[in-house]
Structure 1
Amino acid sequence: MDKQDLTGKTIVVTGANSGIGLEAAKILANQGAHVIMAVRNEQKGVDAVAALKSVNKNAIIEVMKLDLADLSSVRSFVAKFNEKFSNLDILINNAGIMNPPYGQTKDGFELQFGSNHLGHFALTGLLLPLLKNTPGSRVVTLSSIAHRGASIYFDNLDGSKGYKPMNFYKQSKLANLLFAKELDKRFKQHGISTISLACHPGITATNLFKLGKKDSPQLLQKLLKWLFQSVEMGVLPTIYAATEASLSGGEYIGPDGRGNRTGNPALETPAASVYNRETMEKLWDVSETLTGVVYDFS
């Protein structure tokens, strides 16, 4: 994948203090972009910036507070961002939580759906004026192979009628994928040049997974190496989706290996049943209602 000159570009990466987000921030900053690490834990973000600048003292990178599980924090982030910046070239909706015990966001949403999808939905909608006014801008939203076989539980979005952590994680990742596709459709319908794409890292050894003890048997280590890929590889679909000039919007990028678990970034086609028009439109309407963020494409 060719290294690109991103000098002068402003890029927001959510959840950028660890894992895929941190690696993406590093790569994009090394390519000259002004990277804003939008993170819940500011101290971890500050520590991450210090580590990145120790390797590249010329990196233009800063931390801004963003808690996607709190819509007031999302609005506060956008207000502060608008004070400092007049353009936004790339928004990377990366942050995510996986398989927590049942919990709720500050606004009463189930934690995974609320943080992984609704928080990013609100953030993107509130940043829409800047995206629209920035030529060649794009939105990249991270989904997961966990979207396969998932459903949107419209009659139980808050989990009050039953909660299984993995099923709700899968729901949130399906929502990410459907949101990215629907957003691109609406951009094109309204003649807006901004594009929206989805990507996923395959199965990557990030802090979402615990890979066992350091003294795991050699056979297990080999198995994990086959099943999981490094963060340096897992980030590549994100970088490709964010920077590849040939992409026109609506694409889904993932690893090209077996089961799309590992490999180099490539175009991936979800199962035909995934992009259900009725589900996508209903999810959009519900998301606007729940967040109070109504997209203005005019």
Structure 2
Amino acid sequence: MIWTEQQIPRQDGRVAVVTGANTGLGFETARQLAERGASVVLAVRDTAKGQLAAARMSGDVSVQELDLTSLESVRAAAAALRVTHPRIDLLINNAGVMYTPKQTTRDGFEMQFGTNHLGHFALTGLLLDQLLPVPGSRVVTVSSTGHRIRAAIHFDDLQWEHSYGRAAAYGQSKLANLMFTYELQRRLAEHGTTVAVAAHPGLSDTELVRNTPAVVRRPLTWVASLIGQPATAGALPTLRAATDPSVLGGQYYGPDGLAEGRGHPRLVTSSPGSYDLTVQQRLWAVSEDLTGVRFPVGRAAVV
């Protein structure tokens, strides 16, 4: 079946929190959900830009300040959301940074790992109590085909203090997104209400490449415009993972075209290393220690 935006079911009565929703993939994801009746929260670092984005959407749309580079901000945002939205149906971990120069978050984490993985790990753990009682609720985390490029979880140097490569650090963060999803799904399975799903947008034309060095950014932008797809299409794998009734926990969705660069969303597989249970569980334990966030779900059984 070719899955298009026409297959997105009505979302009336559902609450969706979308991180990084003021631009690109997050904007398109939030817009489609709002148009179909969901109450959508744009969780963004810059609330002024968030308000401008909300004004371009129809439906029930609100803005919540969230800076994923600061655990203090993540905790404050989660606390505010628990008050304003005691029930959450969809948490879409979309925001991300790519190929940043070597720098750290406010908590001292390498920027890509800290933002793309640890920030979302903490936010999910702090909001999970709002999802667990809700039948059909989902946590959707956006990864990337970049999880295959020079990617591994470098436990001996997670924060890239001894060496740094933009592509390798990005790959680690996107691999962590997938491993988090798979481990979270096993922990959620016993509850039977909430599921964890992953998606990737293929090669989408967004602002994500803004931190890429110009010598790389220019050809990458050209390639994206030639064989990639616009953000409206790039958001569809996320939207399918979030709304398709046939989706199962632990699945991964991406485009169906050549090298998953563009096309209609379908079920895809991630790299063999992403399914390593031992690494998934070690990453989970390290992430809990680094963020100080403990999830209200028990340790997953290894099967």
TM class by smaller structure:
over 0.9
Segments of 5+ residues of structure 2 without an aligned counterpart are 299-303
Q: In the TM superposition, what is the alpha-carbon distance from 1:273 to its structure 2 partner?
A: 3.1
Q: The residue matched to 1:36 in structure 2 has which SS?
A: strand
Which residue is equivalent to 2:247? 247
Question: Does residue 263 of structure 1 match 2:268?
Answer: no
Identity %: 45
Instruction: Read off the aligned partner of 1:157 and give its amino acid letter.
Output: L
**Counterpart residue identity of residue 44, structure 1:** K
Q: Secondary structure at the match of 2:56?
A: helix
Corresponding residue SS for 2:135: coil
Is it true that 1:49 corresponds to 2:54 in the alignment? yes
Does 1:32 find its partner at 2:32? no
State the alpha-carbon separation in 2 of the partners of residues 3 and 244 from structure 1: 7
Q: What is residue 64 of structure 2 aligned with on the other side? A: 64
- Structure 1 Cα separation of the partners of residues 82 and 8 of structure 2: 29
SS in 2 for 1:209: helix
Alignment partners' CA distance in 2, 1:192 and 1:297: 12
1:1-298 mapped onto 2 (5 Å cutoff): 1=4, 2-52=7-57, 56=58, 59-149=59-149, 150-188=151-189, 190-209=190-209, 224-297=224-297
| CA shift digits 1:159-183 (9 cap, x unpaired) | 1111111110110000001101110
Task: Please state how far the C-alpha of 1:193 moved relative to its aligned partner.
Answer: 1.6
Distance 2:274 2:195 in 1: 20
Between 266-275 and 64-73, the greater mean CA deviation after superposition? 266-275
| Rounded Cα–Cα distance in structure 2 between residues aligned with 1:135 and 1:224 | 38
**Paired residue secondary structure (2:205):** coil
User: Per-residue displacement from partner, 1:57-110 (whole Å, max 9, x unpaired)?
Assistant: xx1001100001100101100111111112000000000001111111111111
Distance 2:67 2:42 in 1: 12
Post-superposition CA distance 1:119-163 (Å, at most 9, x none) = 000000000111111111000000000001410111111111111
Q: Which amino acid aligns with 1:163?
A: Y
- Pick closer, same or farther for the CA change 1:61–1:259 going to 2, 3 Å: same
After superposition, give the CA deviation of every residue in 1:171-208 in whole Å (9 maximum; x if it has no partner). Answer: 000000110111001111x3342000000000100001
Shift of 1:224: 4.3
TM-score by length of 2: 0.91
- The CA deviation at 1:225 is 3.6
- Give the 3-state SS of the residue equivalent to 1:273 in structure 2: helix
Q: SS at the partner of 1:155? A: helix
Q: Which amino acid aligns with 2:188?
A: F
The Cα shift of 1:112 comes to 0.6
Deviation at 1:269, TM superposition (A): 1.4
Tell me the alpha carbon deviations over residues 2-37 of structure 1, each in whole angstroms, 9 at most, x when there is no partner: 131101100000000000000111100000000000
Q: Distance in 2 between matches of 1:203 and 1:193?
A: 32
Aligned length: 286
2:301 corresponds in structure 1 to none
The alignment partner of 2:289 has SS state of helix
Tell me the CA shift for residue 297 of structure 1.
1.6
C-alpha RMSD of matched pairs (Å) = 1.8
